[in-house]
Amino acid sequence: MKKTTTSIMCALTLIVGLVFTNTVSAQIGTKKAEKKANADTDNFRYEIECMGNGAAGTYLIKVWSYSKKATVAKEQSKKNAVHGVIFKGFAGGGQGCVSQKALATDPAIEQQKAEFFESFFADGGKYMKYVSESSDGAVAAEDVMKVGKEYKVGVVVTVMKDALRKDLEAAGVIRGLTSGF
């Protein structure tokens, strides 16, 4: 009887140990994946193209994001879209689009205000209130391409540029349109 009880206790201890080890390994793996995704995004590698005229005070754009995982590229597209509106702007072209300059006229502002932008572009950061996906959340197959060892994913988003400009001016990050030249 003692031998059976001891065997059962050893088996239970082994099972609990394996479950705990697998749980910890999964959490570490998830954290590594999140860290890698953030590193991909910190490089801000993306392309922006105009998709037509959005509602007043908004831009309707497609942002092409790059990552080793298509889902990561899709998730980072909103962050990349806001970053592009602030720092890059985009070319006009078809669909009645007009070229748009970046909201920030000083190219060094990203480094000068690094602390502000680090929290602004953090996961779930303030940037989220200025952007929304313009599709139903699904990415069309033609908007996912394998390029070398990574994916290039295109997502159509709407960026609330007037609200973004107003809040960046209020925070002292960019100069207002009425501040002169």
102 lies in some domain: yes
Higher pLDDT, 71 or 14: 71
Looking at the structure, do residues 70 and 85 belong to the same domain, yes or no?
yes
The number of domains in the chain is: 2
5 lies in some domain: yes
Structural domain of residue 3, as residue ranges? Answer: 1-42
Q: How far is CA 62 from the centre of its chain?
A: 13
76 lies in some domain: yes
DSSP 136: S
Mean pLDDT is highest, among 4-13, 75-84, 93-102, 141-150, for 75-84
Q: How many CB atoms lie within 10 A of CB 13?
A: 10
Looking at the structure, do residues 72 and 28 belong to the same domain, yes or no?
no
Looking at the structure, do residues 84 and 160 belong to the same domain, yes or no?
yes
Residue type at 13 in one-letter notation: T
- For residues 145 and 11, what is the distance between their CA atoms, to the nearest angstrom? 48
Looking at the structure, do residues 91 and 5 belong to the same domain, yes or no?
no
Per-residue confidence (pLDDT) for residue 54, from 0 to 100: 83
Looking at the structure, do residues 16 and 92 belong to the same domain, yes or no?
no
Looking at the structure, do residues 146 and 87 belong to the same domain, yes or no?
yes
181 lies in some domain: no
Picking from 44, 48, 46, 83, the residue whose alpha carbon sits closest to that of residue 62 is: 48
Decide if pLDDT at 24 tops 50. Answer: no
176 lies in some domain: no
Per-residue confidence (pLDDT) for residue 14, from 0 to 100: 56
Task: Please state the pTM of the whole predicted model.
Answer: 0.74
